[in-house]
Amino acid sequence: MFNCTLCYIENEKNEYLMLHRVKKKNDINHDKWIGVGGKFEDRESPEDCLLREVYEETGLTLTSYRFRAVVTFICEGCETEYMHLYTADGYTGELIECNEGDLEWVPKAEVQNLPIWEGDKLFFRLIDPPDSPFFSLKMVYVGDKLVQAVLDGKELPVDTI
């Protein structure tokens, strides 16, 4: 098992900062568009990891962020992953080049049209509007296919996602 963070940074133009994962070798997220974040280091809290990973990948220092969910990923042949999901609407600094992929501001309305994980479509709906409640989401994948989704302990029909 491992813990990680993922953050969707919003700007005043109603866009998310998305990372097109095209630069790392042997990347399970290769060619997918995701937020920014990464694995916890020893002795880090979720917030420590969030702030470090966002800064390392983007050059931005978060000044306003919100813990939105714990997402459990189960995927055949992989360790169980506990992702701490955040959104952020305040930051300082200038974007840098990311060694994991290309950073791009994408209008929120267009994110669902990008090559993203099936389950990401679900949690994008759950974090909009910004004041929506905290949630726990378990997602089970076989390869790239989402085969089970459980929201706050209740199974969801995956064919509606």
Q: Which of residues 144 and 10 earns the better pLDDT score?
A: 10
Q: Indicate the number of domains in the chain.
A: 1
Percent of the chain with pLDDT over 70: 99
Q: What is the pLDDT of residue 137?
A: 97
60 contacts 7 by C-beta, under 8 angstroms: no
Q: What is the pLDDT of residue 123?
A: 87
Asked whether residue 145 is domain-assigned, the answer is no
Secondary structure E strands in the chain: 2-10, 15-20, 33-34, 61-75, 81-92, 102-107, 135-142, 145-151, 154-156
Asked whether residue 139 is domain-assigned, the answer is no
Q: What is the pLDDT of residue 92?
A: 98
Asked whether residue 48 is domain-assigned, the answer is yes
Asked whether residue 90 is domain-assigned, the answer is yes
CA distance 112 to 7: 16
Q: What is the DSSP string of 89-107?
A: EEEES----BTTBEEEEEE
pLDDT per residue as tens digits for the range 99-134: 989 999 999 999 999 999 988 999 899 998 888 999
Confidence of residue 18 (pLDDT cuts 50, 70, 90): very high
Question: Which domain range does residue 99 map to?
Answer: 2-116
CA distance 139 to 145: 10
Rounded to the nearest 10 degrees, how much is the dihedral formed by the CA atoms of 82, 83, 85, 88? 140
Q: What is the pLDDT of residue 21?
A: 85
CA distance 72 to 45: 17
Q: Indicate the pTM of the whole model.
A: 0.93
Asked whether residue 13 is domain-assigned, the answer is yes
Asked whether residue 108 is domain-assigned, the answer is yes
100 contacts 24 by C-beta, under 8 angstroms: yes
Asked whether residue 144 is domain-assigned, the answer is no
Q: What is the pLDDT of residue 80?
A: 96
Asked whether residue 93 is domain-assigned, the answer is yes
Q: What is the mean pLDDT of residues 57-71?
A: 98
Assign residue 28 the CATH number of its domain. Answer: 3.90.79.10
Residue in the block written with tokens 């042949």: 77
